[in-house]
């Protein structure tokens, strides 16, 4: 079993919620004992605060993955309906039935479970904030956190726990990336300089995110590297025969990598360009990483219409893309004109993802126009050449005056003398 090192992974947060619930239950059980130690109250407060923190974190993580789609369905099925069933189950055991009390319970306005009331209020506030003013969600949640202290007389750690969980979620991706970046830098340093347990290497190669690129840049010179690659990019040459669904899908496959990834389509068909644009919009909206893909398309995406396919090939050569896809009626006919590209994918059934995962060609490719002078990573990157010189006396004597003249021109007397000393 692989250990999950993400402290706030779904599995770990479920465990935290379970432990928090047990802590609260244990507190209430012990409080029934006469003369119970007051420190037990702290145990319950910690449990409540932890549960609220995870609730705020999980709610925002769910939003980042799927937005508000199915928002209330999940809450109604998992929280509201089970609580209603509990309230209704208790009715026969009530000494004095009160319709008003039942209504308060069902509406979570003043139920016997204050914690559930509190959570449901947060559900409503979060939904309204995201629905009506998504840019100001943080300010709205912060304001209600303060209001709850006075309105419900909550302790600060309880009133702000949900908000703190939300804040951590908002910045968690950056925190994780930063942590991974530090690990990557330490790893690169260990390979470059050696440790007691890691032998020093001569060359570091391979793909990675921006942290990998910067780590390789920091040690270049101490060790050799293949390249400082990224961000990722794709350029699709397509004609009227191309399927716009395929073109859009391949563009988005790169766009979801990184907000700085580039996804381009160049075509000789205005009709196809319009259909590709429509498909990009449709498919992007359905992606889990739609925010990343959308940012990439908006900033670095383009659909270019040129006069003919020859012009499209020239455009591709000028860009020198990492991935070049040719989705035309006869893709092989355009291949001889391609001079600058990291990897070329021919035809409708050679998507870039094929090269990523399965085809077998090396997928560490030159980016940022470096395909004009660089090649994909290969065995030759691990091969070195040495120059070997051997002259006998007559052959050296025949050229010694030339050596002396060149050395004197540079003002390097010892160079000249090293040749003359032999005669």
What is the per-residue pLDDT for 16? 81
For residues 147 and 40, state if they share a domain.
yes
Helices (H), 220-358: 244-255, 270-285, 290-300, 309-319, 331-334, 352-357
pLDDT at 375 over 80: yes
Same domain, 17 and 157: yes
Residue in 336, 342, 352, 319 with CA at minimum distance from that of residue 247: 352
- Output the pLDDT for position 419: 95
Same domain for 366 and 402?
A: no
CB atoms within 10 A of CB 369: 15
Q: Give the global pTM.
A: 0.60
Structurally, how many domains does the chain consist of? 4
The answer to whether residue 4 sits within a structural domain is: no
Do 97 and 244 share a structural domain? no
Residues annotated as part of the active site: 322-323
- On whether both 340 and 203 belong to a single domain, the answer is no
Tens digit of pLDDT for each residue in 22-80? Answer: 887 787 788 778 777 777 777 778 888 888 888 889 888 888 888 888 889 888 888 88
CA pair distance 251, 277, nearest whole angstrom: 11
110 pLDDT above the threshold of 50: yes
One domain for residues 47 and 118: yes
**Within this chain, do residues 47 and 164 fall inside the same structural domain, yes or no?**
yes
Q: Work out the number of other CB atoms within 10 angstroms of the CB of residue 50.
A: 21
Give the contacts of 319 (CB within 8 A, at least 6 positions apart).
Answer: 235, 264, 340, 369
10-19, 313-322, 353-362: which has the minimum mean pLDDT?
10-19
Residue-level length of the chain = 423
pLDDT confidence of residue 3: 41
Q: Is residue 179 part of a domain?
A: no
Residue-range definition of the domain harbouring residue 295: 233-382
Q: What is the mean pLDDT of residues 199-209?
A: 87
Choose the final residue of a domain: 192, 225, 258: 225
- The reply to whether 166 and 252 lie within a common domain is no
pLDDT tens per residue, range 256-295: 998 999 999 999 999 999 999 999 999 999 998 899 999 9
The pLDDT of residue 4 is: 47
Q: What is the CATH number of the domain that holds 376?
A: 3.40.50.1980
- Are 298 and 357 contained in the same domain? yes
For residue 177, being part of any structural domain is answered with no
Same domain membership, residue 149 and residue 32: yes
What pLDDT score was predicted for residue 336? 97
């Amino acid at each position: 079993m692989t250990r999950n090192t993400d402290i706030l992974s779904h599995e770990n947060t479920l465990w935290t919620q379970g432990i928090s619930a047990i802590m609260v239950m244990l507190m209430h059980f012990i409080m029934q004992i006469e003369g119970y130690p007051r420190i037990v109250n702290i145990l319950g407060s910690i449990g409540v605060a932890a549960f609220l923190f995870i609730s705020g974190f999980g709610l925002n993580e769910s939003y980042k993955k799927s937005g508000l789609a199915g928002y209330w369905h999940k809450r109604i099925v998992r929280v509201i309906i089970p609580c209603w069933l509990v309230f209704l189950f208790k009715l026969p055991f009530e000494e004095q039935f009160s319709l008003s009390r039942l209504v308060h319970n069902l509406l979570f306005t003043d139920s016997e479970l204050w914690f559930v009331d509190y959570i449901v209020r947060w559900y409503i506030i979060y939904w309204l904030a995201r629905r009506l003013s998504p840019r100001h969600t943080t300010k709205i949640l912060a304001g209600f956190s303060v209001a709850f202290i006075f309105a419900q007389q909550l302790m600060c750690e309880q009133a702000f726990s949900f908000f703190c969980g939300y804040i951590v979620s908002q910045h968690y991706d950056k925190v994780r990336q930063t942590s991974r970046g530090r690990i990557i830098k330490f790893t690169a340093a260990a390979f470059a300089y050696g440790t007691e347990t890691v032998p020093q290497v001569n060359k570091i190669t391979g793909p990675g995110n921006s942290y990998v690129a910067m780590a390789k840049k920091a040690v270049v010179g101490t060790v050799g590297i293949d390249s400082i690659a990224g961000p990722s990019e794709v350029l699709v040459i397509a004609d009227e025969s191309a399927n716009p669904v395929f073109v859009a899908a391949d563009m988005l496959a790169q766009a979801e990598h990184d907000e700085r990834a580039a996804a381009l389509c160049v075509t000789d068909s205005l009709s196809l360009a319009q259909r590709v644009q429509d498909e990009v919009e449709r498919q992007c909206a359905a992606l889990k990483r739609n925010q990343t893909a959308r940012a990439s398309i908006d900033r670095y995406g383009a659909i270019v219409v040129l006069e003919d396919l020859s012009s499209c090939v020239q455009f591709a050569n000028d860009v020198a893309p990492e991935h070049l896809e040719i989705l035309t009626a006869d893709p092989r006919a355009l291949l001889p004109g391609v001079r600058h590209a990291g990897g070329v994918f021919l035809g409708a059934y050679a998507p870039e993802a094929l090269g990523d995962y399965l085809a077998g060609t090396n997928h560490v490719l030159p980016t940022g126009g470096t395909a004009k002078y660089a090649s994909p990573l290969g065995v030759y990157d691990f091969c070195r050449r040495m120059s070997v010189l051997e002259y006998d006396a007559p052959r050296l004597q025949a050229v010694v005056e030339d050596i002396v003249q060149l050395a004197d021109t540079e003002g390097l007397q010892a160079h000249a003398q090293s040749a003359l000393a032999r005669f």
